[in-house]
Amino acid sequence: MSPKKASGKLNKLLGRTMLHVQVGDDLKDFGVHKDLICHYSPYFNAAFTSGFEETRTGVMKLSTTEPEVFELFYHWLYTQDLYLPAWDPASSSSEVDGAVGLEENHSSCTLCKAIDDDDEDSDGDGYDSDYEASREFIKGHDNNCLIDTFHKKQLKLLAMLYVFADMTRIPALQNLCLERFYNTTNTNNDVPVELIEYIWENTAESSQLRKIMIDMLVWEHPASSYVTAHKVIPNSVKDEVLFTMARRFRCTRMNKKGAKVNPLTDITNYHVKVNEKITS
């Protein structure tokens, strides 16, 4: 959708009535246009128009939703774009959950050290705030260096936003999250197995996020990584992986070309159906 068309659609949807959504432990307050949020989300529409307490007060409390997640949703609601901060060496170190040894791991990353040494001899900071440029920059860094940890935090945010979009029944946002999740994962060519437990605990059995995780493990996860990956993958998920592997081997025996049977070649295979009335 062109910026001009998106702006025109937004103006029609804003209306005049404002609601408040309070999120997180501290109930951070977000003011949002009622017609807009109710248009995109049947969940919010039901809460604010069907006689619940929220209908009377115009306030909804979501204490289990992280403010960072709602901020991403809030930005998408008004722009139809998913904004994730690009790597910024001046601020990202404080944003990454200060795990023990992060700085030491960061300094031991060969690529980071080479860039840091180069930066000392240049006026620029060596980084680009553009999202695609940031993705290219992340490639090649060692696991658990500061930049890799930042990259993993973004994947966790995307998984959490997908769960939120599923809860609030916004398939267009689910699909955008899933596309960005897959593209971000491809940056490091490494499936985020550390997120499996979170995803399986917070999604239904039919979840497309589960499905793409399984397919990434089977079709794109480096075989050498299974030595460590299998230790953090729950047994129930291993069963699903084995079943999908068997299906892949069966396709191989039938001499089918991998590109034609690999479902990840078409990301729309994992899209949730979107109500045309909502997107039009």
- Alpha-carbon gap, residue 156 to 190, rounded angstroms: 14
Which tens digits make up the pLDDT trace of 71-97?
999 999 999 999 887 766 665 444 444
Asked whether the beta carbons of 173 and 208 are under 8 A apart, the reply is no
Give this prediction's pTM.
0.77
Domains and CATH numbers, the chain: 1-81 (3.30.710.10), 82-279 (no CATH)
Instruction: Give the model confidence (pLDDT) of 221-279 as tens digits.
Output: 777 666 677 777 888 888 888 778 777 766 665 665 555 678 899 999 999 999 866 65
193 by Cβ neighbours in 10 Å (0-12 / 13-18 / 19+) ranks as buried
46 token code pair: 């039901």
Rounded to a whole number of angstroms, the CA Rg of the chain reads 21
Q: Concatenated DSSP letters for 168-202? A: TT-HHHHHHHHHHHHHHHHHHT---GGGHHHHHHH
